[in-house]
Structure 1
Amino acid sequence: MPTARVSSAVMTHPVRRAQAEELVARLGLGSLALDPDPDGTPSALRTALIAWASITEGATHQFMIQDDVAAPDDMLDLVAHCADRFPGDALAFYTNWHARNGAAARLAALAGAGWVRAVPEEFTPTLAICLPVALADGFRRYAERSGERHDDEVMADFLRRGGRRSALLAVPTVTEHTGTSSINGHATQGVRLAVCPTAVDDARPLLSGGWVLEELDWLPYMRYGQGFIRLPGQDATPAARSHYTWREALPGTKLLTEGAVSDVVRELRPEDAAAEVARLFGPSFADELWIHCLLLGRQAEDAARRHAPEGAAPDRDPAVRRLREAAVSTVGPAGLPPEHRPSVGPAHAELLSAYAWTGISAGKVLLERTRADRR
């Protein structure tokens, strides 16, 4: 039995009240947090303040979930066990597949980790999030003074201040975003799904005992068909949220050159698969996706070598193997521009996943070469 006492609320709008009530009933959640001004300007924060104010007496933690989220029946028990393990942290149980934090979770999955520290400059994913009661009260007091309407942006700003750490992201994702509509104006982002969709039986041991990736170094990510790199310490600069293409950012890694990347592309990228991806989604996307996966594979291998517990062997753990497969299954569709994601059927998804794996596997070669260059 977990010792954490978790109260809970579902954020909802009257137009979605029925689905929110179904979620409360199925998961055994505490209450509905209804938008207090449903005809006003859309504001997730307005409703989030209601959710964070509905903490049950005697609770140690508050779990807030949005109404357009699918989750397993034993979600509250899983949250409570995770709160026991990380009693002072904000815990996010959903991460979008196309965000910087999604890239962080995907990298962590490939490295075999169960949790990863969120990048501090991006919004904190709040579709399913748990806070210690003291942190929840502090956030509510802080957010009441904000003119921002996006609760995920205010949460990130709150966690950045006062020396607080950014949220811990659950790498295996047992929750899923449902639909593409958005009361808060995010529908233009298209299909938004979990980065590492995982069955709860696989997720439990990874979340309860998996290692935590706290240091990301430089982070490859994709958005709208193009590859980028988040540089070390970027959050502490005036350009914290700027996007640097991988070519622009390579000098900042202090390890790689465009020539070294091009050599591996030329030697190891499978021509037939590249041609098929180019035919379906365009030559630029075929290039950008493979190079992104090459850099991602390099960084995941480096993270595993530097941070994984001694003796950890992800390839020998079936749950971790399935987690890694899930992470790679989303990298292609997530990297596409939003208007192209709905066209990815099962056959295309399989092609993109197989293609992505070739780039990720080549990342180990790139790592060995750059390590040799430093000796």
Structure 2
Amino acid sequence: MVFRKLSGVVMTHPSRRAMAERLLHGQAGGWLDLVTDPEPHGSPHPLRTAMRAWSAVPSGASHHLVLQDDAQLTSCFLDRVRETIELLPDAALALYANWNSRNGAMVRMGALAGARLALAANEYTPLVALVLPAKVASGFEEYARRHGRGWSDDITMQRYLKISGVPTYLAVPNLVEHGDVVSLAQNDAHGLRRSACFSAVEVSHRHSGIEHRLDATEAIPFFKKGVSYCAVRIPAMADQTWETVSCESYLRRLGIAVPARDFTGTGRLPGQVLRGVWMTAFAMGILRAQAVCQGKDSCGDTASSDAVLDLALGTIGPGGLCDSLPAATLEETAAELRSLAWAGLVEGLNFRRGTATKRARTARRVVSHPNKTDRRILVTGGGRSPLAEYLTRGLADSGLAVLSWDIEPIGQGHPGITVIPPSASVEDVRHLFSATTAVVFLNGLTDFYGERQAWCRSPRWGLLGHAMAAGIRKLVCCSTQQVYGDLPVPADEETPFVSLAEPFAAAAWAGESICRSISDRSDALTQVVRFATPYGPGVLPRHPPGSFICQALRGEPIEYAGQADQQVQLVHVDDMAQALRAVVLSTSTTPVLNIGSVSPTTVGELAKMVTGLVKAVPARFANAAPETGASGVVCTDRMSDDLGFQTAVPIADGIRSYAQWLAYDDVSWQWR
């Protein structure tokens, strides 16, 4: 047997030394050391102290534990930690997960599966209490010094472990609770911080063995800011990236129509919030029963006597509302929200197992996607871009049947997308064109890793001509408002171009011209969709708000070379997909359509929103000429009049989704 020796420290700030010393001398004390902030009078940044704490590994230690000073330990803390490092000596072990995080949701999925450990989600690594193998711990300081660049300690740790190939497991239930103290990392705006599943004393568990663990799940339902979401694995993308969609959208992908339920508000909580809690638990039940049906693992009976699961379900509602409700209200409504979560879970389990009520079974047979059509489209020209992935999946989520053919597989794992292998020839797929009504060419939107150049050099460029010659009657070409240049007045679709000197705009215009030429030869309709400034998952952060979000995430001041009153017109990725759907289905023959928010905002307003929604940092404007590509406003009258379309994603929601993607799912940080 290999001997494992655990070392540990408590990291703190001198102003909180007394709190740290109570932890030092508590039930896990006697062997822990104290590490304090090396710059106590500097601006608050826990990464400084974390680097020092992880480098404090004594000789002979096999594993190293770092506790933050506000950690509260369960009675079985040390025994459970030692059991786990014996079982998984090469893994990281997170002993706490926040109740409104993806990792917290993964803890709940682990509790539902009867697991004692669950593989962490693609999210920040929770650092309230973390154990690393000693060699891994010792390497963090150098990595953070080279790559931290202002990022928070938990995101820096997640990236370090990911690039080092070290898996992170979450303790189920958590062995640590978060204390009620002011956040040194300035996270108090996120509301009350609590564990997703914690008990101060050891609770009974369906499985007594620590070896029971949940290694993977296709999706993770979670409830945040009063909305039910699913983090969904995209297996074909680099490092198994995840996308975030609504629970209802994900269930539609599975062919499941959510049963109608009456959620009458209680006065304190509106019906929409109650539905979100129920929906999150319902999706958990669906996913768990599906895993059992597919033979991925076994699952015992789920009953309210399961103490660990009861703890986990009880935090869904309060966790998702903690940033909008005071602690007293969360406590008052906790019992109601727990009961609602149990009801949703049990119905989800029964619904998927086929033992649901007659009403639910009938709903499953009859109700389909509310926007389902018999239209099939071909999506191509996206290359390797994350934006192409999100748009393709969004088109499938909108009810269209999608064929995806590109230089890299896009849309894999989505039931509404048929992925044509990149190696296929036109002759191999020609028979598919006869039943396809439109081609969506993602030109001008996805300049990532030089994929536009790669796509144009590939034989697939000739695909457009073959597809139109085979009888497809509509070609939708995506483009950008940048072809108009930075005009002082809103540009409509007839505005003459002043200059195409900007490379991105010139490339977009070249794509437009080729599409028109192809459709002229085939007598098909080409419609060009010129999007305002895109933002949201999949969009590289070259311009505001993406560049502002990255600066805020790193704790840096927002700095912008242009003027605060410079106007910017945005369009969220979700709205882009819906607009493309509207063009595909429309009978309008309008050759060019501008798509963007009806009311532009200013760069200064965006900076204010980012500092309020992401992180409170100062904003500075140089008041110089507008930054290239970041300005310009287009007229969207045709969007409304000819297409009957309006953008729907509120900017605040869009910024939140963009920040989440940039922090956790954007792999480009590895080369930026």
TM-score tier (shorter) = 0.7 to 0.9
2:328 is the alignment partner of 1:343? yes
The one-character-per-residue Cα deviations of 1:241-279 (angstroms, maximum 9, x if unpaired) are 76422344445xx4135xx11xx2x2xx4x4xx3254x3
Aligned-pair Cα RMSD in Å: 3.0
| Partner residue, 2:220 | 219
Q: 1:207 to 1:51 in 2, by over 3 A?
A: farther
- Percent of paired sites with the same residue: 30
Structure-to-structure mapping, 1:80-119, within 5 angstroms: 80-119=82-121
Report the alpha carbon displacement of residue 288 of structure 1 after superposing the two structures with TM: 1.7
State whether residues 43 and 149 of structure 1, in contact with CA within 8 Å, keep that contact through their aligned partners in structure 2.
no
State whether residues 250 and 256 of structure 1, in contact with CA within 8 Å, keep that contact through their aligned partners in structure 2.
yes
State whether residues 82 and 207 of structure 1, in contact with CA within 8 Å, keep that contact through their aligned partners in structure 2.
no
State whether residues 91 and 130 of structure 1, in contact with CA within 8 Å, keep that contact through their aligned partners in structure 2.
yes
The one-character-per-residue Cα deviations of 1:206-251 (angstroms, maximum 9, x if unpaired) are 6852511111102211110011111122794699576422344445
The one-character-per-residue Cα deviations of 1:29-50 (angstroms, maximum 9, x if unpaired) are 4211100011212111110111
Q: Which amino acid in 1 is paired with 2:15?
A: V
State whether residues 247 and 283 of structure 2, in contact with CA within 8 Å, keep that contact through their aligned partners in structure 1.
no
In the alignment, the residues of structure 2 paired with residue 241 and residue 198 of structure 1 have an alpha-carbon distance, to the nearest angstrom, of 30
| Partner residue, 2:300 | 313
Report the alpha carbon displacement of residue 365 of structure 1 after superposing the two structures with TM: 3.2
Report the alpha carbon displacement of residue 17 of structure 1 after superposing the two structures with TM: 0.5
State whether residues 274 and 340 of structure 2, in contact with CA within 8 Å, keep that contact through their aligned partners in structure 1.
no
In the alignment, the residues of structure 2 paired with residue 34 and residue 357 of structure 1 have an alpha-carbon distance, to the nearest angstrom, of 43
Q: Which amino acid in 1 is paired with 2:317?
A: G
Structure-to-structure mapping, 1:150-299, within 5 angstroms: 150-162=152-164, 164-202=165-203, 208-233=209-234, 236=237, 240=241, 243-250=244-251, 254-257=253-256, 260-261=257-258, 264=259, 266=260, 269=261, 271=262, 274-277=263-266, 279-299=267-287
The one-character-per-residue Cα deviations of 1:161-197 (angstroms, maximum 9, x if unpaired) are 14x1431011211210011520111001111101011
State whether residues 6 and 76 of structure 1, in contact with CA within 8 Å, keep that contact through their aligned partners in structure 2.
no
Report the alpha carbon displacement of residue 9 of structure 1 after superposing the two structures with TM: 0.4
Report the alpha carbon displacement of residue 74 of structure 1 after superposing the two structures with TM: 5.2
2:59 is the alignment partner of 1:57? yes
2:16 is the alignment partner of 1:9? no
State whether residues 314 and 334 of structure 2, in contact with CA within 8 Å, keep that contact through their aligned partners in structure 1.
yes
Q: 1:73 to 1:201 in 2, by over 3 A?
A: closer
Q: 1:88 to 1:360 in 2, by over 3 A?
A: same
Task: Decide which moves more: 290-299 or 326-335.
Answer: 290-299
Q: How many positions carry a matched residue from both structures?
A: 355
Q: Which amino acid in 1 is paired with 2:120?
A: A
State whether residues 224 and 338 of structure 1, in contact with CA within 8 Å, keep that contact through their aligned partners in structure 2.
yes
| Partner residue, 1:136 | 137
State whether residues 52 and 140 of structure 1, in contact with CA within 8 Å, keep that contact through their aligned partners in structure 2.
yes
| Matched position secondary structure for 1:344 | helix
Report the alpha carbon displacement of residue 308 of structure 1 after superposing the two structures with TM: 3.4
In the alignment, the residues of structure 1 paired with residue 344 and residue 74 of structure 2 have an alpha-carbon distance, to the nearest angstrom, of 33
| Matched position secondary structure for 1:32 | strand
| Partner residue, 2:19 | 19
Which structure is higher in RCO with an 8 Å CA cutoff and minimum separation 6? 1
| Partner residue, 2:340 | 355
In the alignment, the residues of structure 2 paired with residue 176 and residue 357 of structure 1 have an alpha-carbon distance, to the nearest angstrom, of 23
TM-score by length of 2: 0.49
| Matched position secondary structure for 1:11 | strand
2:319 is the alignment partner of 1:334? yes
